[in-house]
Amino acid sequence: MGATVMFAKNIVETNYNTVPSDVIEPTKKQILDTLAVIIAGGHLGNVSPIVDLIKEWSGKGESTILGYGGRVPSPNAALVNGFAAVT
């Protein structure tokens, strides 16, 4: 079994009740921290031009660019949100 299949199997078989309680709180904090960084970083000068370009490209509205609203194709939203997360 390859690494990808093992990883996917682990995700599919994991549910909230199987995660140790001492892992839940730090995980929640990490997720909230990441969302806060994406939303804050998304409004810095170097992200806004990318958002404008992505919105110009249009396409099927599937996902949101965090902090901007509106819907764009999922790969485009992932690009901007990921870029904002590391800005």
Convert the pLDDT of each residue in 40-63 to its tens digit: 888 877 888 888 898 888 789 999
pLDDT score at 22: 94
Convert the pLDDT of each residue in 4-21 to its tens digit: 999 999 989 999 898 998
Confidence of residue 64 (pLDDT cuts 50, 70, 90): very high
DSSP letter for each residue of 5-74: HHHHHHHHH--GGGS-HHHHHHHHHHHHHHHHHHHHHTTSTTTHHHHHHHHHH-----EE-TTT-SEE-H
